[in-house]
Amino acid sequence: MSRSINLAVIPGDGIGQEVVAEGLKVLSAVLPQDVKLETKDYDFGARRYHATGETLTDADLDALKQHDAILLGAIGDPGVPSGVLERGFLLKLRFAFDHHVNLRPSKLLPGVATPLAGQPEIDFVVVREGTEGPYTGNGGTIRKGTEHEVATEVSVNTAFGVERVVRDAFARAQARPRKKLTLVHKNNVLTFAGHLWTNIFDKVAAEYPDVTTDYIHVDAATIYLVTDPGRFDVIVTDNLFGDIITDLAAAVSGGIGVAASGNINPSREFPSMFEPVHGSAPDIAGQGKADPTATVLSVALLLRHLGHDAEAARIEDAVSADLADRGGLPARSTSQIGDALAARVAG
């Protein structure tokens, strides 16, 4: 546990600005007096791209490297062509800082609405691989724009990359009461990658006899996520499958307004990055309507990553209590929710 936190803050675009302000408010409120918090803002995202054409330079990466962690709001703007900021900023950062554990908890908290009938119990964590699979940018296009165009996307999977994320997931499963780990893949069709994932999963499973394991195809996993989400405890999966099922997981467990994520480098060779699963939501930006809860829960993940477990738990408890009360409260603005959470964690 560090006695100081040197945080890089990337508010980004749209509602990113608003939600990050509340995240920092709660972070300041929860930290004990003797933990020194230093923050530095970085103006990355659409505004900078429009002004300079830059997304993330080597100098930017060097600057970010100096921090203990990164808090990000959201990046994205309809005025920027699809893919430019995603590949040029978000994915570039995940790859440069080797964020191979993309951690996305889903917990349906009391009082929170879900689109599912019967308010099922939901409490699982997805460990999504963050540096391989179809996200590597391998592939290409020939004869672009002609009737003979061929475009490929190459999913790259290495024993090194798969084993480290599978090990991380087993350790997380073992630390939870139910000790259950599900591998989600599509090994009946993507047989090359599927066999690599399945073999490594089975090999590591032998070292964790107390962890119950199972395997589900990604298509079937989407069925279980809506018909029986309680069956999941920890899920480990590839980058693209993880992207898809965590949005669905967020939807069934209270919506992306409360879905947090961490892009984690467990070795701490580079700073990890914490961000809400939601995007920049330009349609509601600047109106104080955005729910900062997902960002606040991402701050809790950040604190846990840095060893401040008690403070992380205080934030999570505050969020639970706040959400439980919401049904009875009139709608509040972004900063009113932040104020309420800050007051709760401060004690």
Ligand X SMILES: CC(C)[C@H](C(=O)O)[C@@H](O)C(=O)O
Q: Which two tokens stand for residue 168?
A: 């991380």
**Which partner, ligand X, a second copy, none, binds residue 160 by CB below 5 to 8 Å per kind?**
a second copy
Provide the b/e sequence for 163-196 (b: ≥16 CB within 10 Å).
Answer: bbbbbbbbbbbeeeeebbbbbbbbbeebeebbeb
| Integer Rg of the chain from CA | 20
Catalytic residue status for 247 = yes
Number of residues in contact with a second copy, rule: CB under 8 A?
68
**Could you give the 3-state DSSP secondary structure of residue 248?**
helix
> In this chain, which stretch among 3-11, 98-106, 212-220, 290-298 interacts with a second copy, using CB under 8 A?
212-220
**Which partner, ligand X, a second copy, none, binds residue 347 by CB below 5 to 8 Å per kind?**
none
CB nearer a second copy, residue 2 or residue 199: 199
* Residue from 98, 233, 243, 322 carrying the catalytic annotation: 243
Q: Which of 62, 55, 105 is nearest to 80 (CA)?
A: 55
Q: Residue 257, annotated ligand binder?
A: no
Angle CA(111)–CA(28)–CA(11) in degrees, nearest 5?
A: 80
Which of 250, 264, 296, 312 binds a second copy (CB under 8 A)? It is: 250
243 touches ligand X by CB under 6 A: yes
257 touches a second copy by CB under 8 A: no
Looking up tokens 């970085």 gives 42
* Touching a second copy, residues 81-120 (CB under 8 A): 82-83, 86-87, 91, 114-118
Q: Which two tokens stand for residue 28?
A: 């300041």
Catalytic residue status for 40 = no
Q: Which amino acid is at 275?
A: E
Catalytic residue status for 135 = yes
Nearest-angstrom CA–CA distance, 229 and 123: 8
For 71, other C-beta atoms within 10 Å of its C-beta total 23
Nearest-angstrom CA–CA distance, 318 and 52: 41
The pairing of beta strand 101-107 with beta strand 139-142: unpaired
52 touches a second copy by CB under 8 A: no
343 touches a second copy by CB under 8 A: no
Catalytic residue status for 243 = yes
CB nearer a second copy, residue 33 or residue 82: 82
Looking up tokens 């009461």 gives 177
Q: Residue 336, annotated ligand binder?
A: no
Minimum distance of ligand X from residue 37's CB (angstroms): 26
Report the DSSP beta bridge partners of residue 107: 123
**Which partner, a second copy, ligand X, none, binds residue 264 by CB below 5 to 8 Å per kind?**
none
219 touches ligand X by CB under 6 A: yes
Minimum distance of a second copy from residue 345's CB (angstroms): 29
Nearest-angstrom CA–CA distance, 125 and 172: 9
Q: Residue 282, annotated ligand binder?
A: yes
Catalytic residue status for 186 = yes
Q: Which two tokens stand for residue 157?
A: 């999977």
Q: Residue 253, annotated ligand binder?
A: no
Minimum distance of ligand X from residue 43's CB (angstroms): 19
* Residue from 43, 202, 214, 219 carrying the catalytic annotation: 219
90 touches ligand X by CB under 6 A: yes
Q: Do the Cβ atoms of 132 and 162 come closer than 8 Å? A: yes
CA dihedral (209, 215, 218, 220) positive or negative: negative
Cite the annotated binding site for substrate by residue number: 94, 104, 128, 219
Tell me the catalytic residues: 135, 186, 219, 243, 247
Q: Write out the residues near ligand X by the rule CB under 6 A.
A: 86, 90-91, 188-189, 219, 243
